[in-house]
Chain A
Amino acid sequence: MNKYLLMMLLAITSMCLHSPAVNAESAKDNYRTYCMQCHGMTGLGMGVNIQDMSVQPRDHTDAKAMGTRTDVELFKVIKEGGLAISKSSLMPPWADTLTDQEIHDLVKHLRTLCNCEYSTK
Chain B
Amino acid sequence: MNSSMAMKLFNILLFCTPIYVGLTLSISAHAGGIGLLKKYDCASCHALTGPAPATLAALWQRKGPDLFYAGNKYRQAWLETWLQQPKRIRPAGMFYMNHIKPGPKRNMVDTSTLTEHIQLNKKDAKAIAATLASMKTHTALIQAEKHDASISPGPLGEMLFDKIYGCMACHQIEPGFGGMSGTEVYTAGKRLTPEFMLSYIRNPQAWDPKIWMPNAHLPDNNKQKLVNYIIKLSKESNDE
List the interface of chain A (C-beta within 8 A of B).
1, 6, 9-10, 12-13, 16-17, 19-21, 23, 25, 29-30, 32-34, 36-38, 40-42, 46-54, 81, 88-90, 92-97
Interface string of B90-103 (1 = CB under 8 A from A): 00100011001011
Is the CB–CB distance between B107 and A13 below 8 Å? Answer: no
Instruction: Give the complex CA separation of A49 and B109 in angstroms.
Output: 10
Q: Which residues of A sit under 8 angstroms from B108, Cβ to Cβ?
A: 48
| Measured CA separation A88–B133 after assembly (Å) | 40
A92, B106: Cα distance in complex, Å = 20
Within 8 A of A (CB), among B164-223: 164-166, 168-170, 177-181, 203, 205, 209-210, 212, 214-217
Report if A9-B177 is in contact (Cβ < 8 Å); known contacts: A23-B55, A48-B96.
no
Q: How far is the CA of A33 from the CA of B212 in the complex (A)?
A: 7
Beyond A9-B6, A16-B12, A33-B59, whether A46 also contacts B205 by CB under 8 A is no
Across the interface, A48 reaches (CB within 8 A) one of B12, B180, B209, namely B180
**Given contact pairs A49-B169, A51-B106, A92-B216, A33 touches B210 in the complex (Cβ within 8 A):** yes
Q: Known contacts A6-B6, A37-B212, A96-B214: does B166 contact A89 (CB below 8 Å)?
A: yes
Can you identify 7 A-B contacts, CB atoms within 8 angstroms?
A10-B9, A12-B13, A16-B13, A33-B97, A37-B181, A47-B106, A92-B214
Number of residue pairs across A and B with beta carbons under 8 Å?
117
Judge if B105 is at the interface, Cβ distance under 8 Å.
Answer: yes
**Which chain B residues have a beta carbon within 8 Å of chain A's beta carbons?**
1, 3, 6, 9-10, 12-13, 16-17, 51, 54-56, 59-60, 92, 96-97, 100, 102-103, 105-109, 163-166, 168-170, 177-181, 203, 205, 209-210, 212, 214-217
On whether the beta carbons of A96 and B215 are closer than 8 Å, the reply is yes
9 extra A-B contacts, CB within 8 A, seeds A9-B6, A30-B56: A9-B9, A33-B60, A49-B169, A49-B180, A51-B106, A53-B169, A88-B166, A96-B215, A97-B205
In the bound complex, what is the Cα–Cα distance between A95 and B205 (angstroms)? 11
**Which B residues are CB-close (under 8 A) to A89?**
163-166
- Docked pose: A6 CA to B123 CA in angstroms: 45
Complex Cα gap A97–B210 (Å):
7
Asked if residues A25 and B56 are in contact (CB atoms below 8 Å), the reply is: yes
Q: Which of A40, A48, A88, A96 contacts B92 (CB 8 A)?
A: A48
| Interchain CB contact under 8 A, A47 and B12 | no
CA distance A32 to B210 in the complex (A): 13
Of B12, B54, B210, the residue contacting A19 (CB under 8 A) is B54
